[in-house]
Amino acid sequence: MLAVTAVDGCRYCSYFHTRQALKSGLTPEEISRLLSGDADNYPEEEAVAVIYAQHWAESDAHPDPEAVRKLQQTYDVEKTEFIHLMLRMIRLGNLLGNSWDYLLYRISFGKWRGSV
pLDDT tens-place string over residues 10-49: 888 888 989 999 999 989 988 888 887 776 777 777 889 9
Q: How do the domains of the chain map onto residue ranges?
A: 2-107
Quote the pLDDT of residue 116: 44
pLDDT tens-place string over residues 55-71: 999 999 999 999 999 99
DSSP per-residue codes, the chain = -HHHHHHHT-HHHHHHHHHHHHHTT--HHHHHHHHHT--TTS-HHHHHHHHHHHHHHHTTT---HHHHHHHHHHS-HHHHHHHHHHHHHHHHHHHHHHHHHHHHHHHTTT---TT-
- The average confidence (pLDDT) of the chain is 88
